[in-house]
């Protein structure tokens, strides 16, 4: 019996990790389906969601927030603009800056696609009492904080790895160009 108890934390960890993976996959696939329905890809849809939550951003700010390169961000903005989901507007306080503004009317076309999910989630939440809801809310808030921190850390590590690779490449070029020692 004690052997079974010893294995329970490990099994719970594995089960939690598996549930987390399944939840993540279901969320990604759901958002991908919504994106497809409105003629976008999932990255474009979530970037539009980011703009809706934050308000207008410059292309540089958008690249920083999403972790996309400047070229990829420009292409993404071009696609969203062509589809009518965003527009480029001059910053009224600094005419040199161009802000990427979500187009509310097009965003309102997306909202009804979440209606069924919202209803079903609201119904699901009625199963829990106040204390359970507080625990769920706490868990979700901490999950968001952890994901944000891990994203920042991963991006920093990636940046360092790329810089290190570039530096090694530069050193190899310098060595290849150096005249042989005689």
Where do the structural domains in the chain lie, given as residue ranges? 2-127, 130-182
Please tell me the predicted confidence (pLDDT) of residue 11: 59
Please tell me the predicted confidence (pLDDT) of residue 15: 85
Q: What are phi and psi of 56, to 5 degrees?
A: -60, 140
Q: What are phi and psi of 93, to 5 degrees?
A: -95, -20
Please tell me the predicted confidence (pLDDT) of residue 107: 86
| Count, residues in the chain | 182
- Report which DSSP code applies to 100: E
Q: Does domain 2-127 have CATH number 1.20.59.20?
A: no
Please tell me the predicted confidence (pLDDT) of residue 165: 80
Please tell me the predicted confidence (pLDDT) of residue 147: 95
Q: What value does the CA radius of gyration of the chain take, rounded to a whole number of Å?
A: 23
Answering whether pTM is above 0.85, one says: no
Please tell me the predicted confidence (pLDDT) of residue 176: 54
C-alpha separations of 162 from 12, 66, 97, 155 in Å: 36, 18, 29, 10
Nearest to 159 by CA among 44, 62, 61, 64: 64
Please tell me the predicted confidence (pLDDT) of residue 182: 54
Q: Tens of pLDDT along the chain (182 residues)?
A: 445 555 565 655 668 889 999 999 999 999 999 999 999 999 999 999 999 999 999 999 999 999 999 999 999 999 999 999 999 999 888 888 999 999 999 989 999 999 999 999 999 999 999 999 999 999 999 999 999 999 999 999 988 988 888 776 666 555 556 555 55
Neighbours of 106 (CB within 10 A): 16
Please tell me the predicted confidence (pLDDT) of residue 72: 96
Whole-angstrom distance, CA of residue 62 vs CA of residue 80: 13
């Amino acid at each position: 019996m004690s052997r079974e108890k010893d294995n329970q934390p490990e099994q719970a960890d594995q089960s939690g990790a598996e549930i987390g993976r399944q939840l993540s996959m279901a969320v990604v696939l759901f958002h991908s389906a919504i994106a497809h329905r409105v003629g976008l890809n999932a990255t474009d849809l979530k970037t539009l969601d980011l703009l809706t939550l934050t308000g207008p951003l410059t292309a540089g700010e958008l690249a920083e927030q999403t972790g996309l390169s400047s070229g990829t961000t420009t292409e993404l903005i071009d696609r969203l603009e062509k589809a009518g989901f965003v527009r480029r507007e001059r910053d009224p306080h600094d005419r040199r800056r161009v802000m990427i503004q979500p187009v509310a009317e097009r965003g309102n076309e997306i909202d009804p696609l979440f209606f069924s999910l919202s209803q079903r989630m609201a119904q699901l939440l009625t199963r829990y009492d106040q204390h359970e809801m507080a625990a769920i809310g706490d868990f979700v808030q901490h999950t968001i904080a952890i994901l944000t921190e891990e994203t920042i850390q991963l991006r920093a590590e990636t940046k360092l790895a790329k810089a290190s690779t570039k530096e090694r490449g530069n050193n190899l070029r310098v060595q290849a160009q150096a005249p042989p020692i005689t």
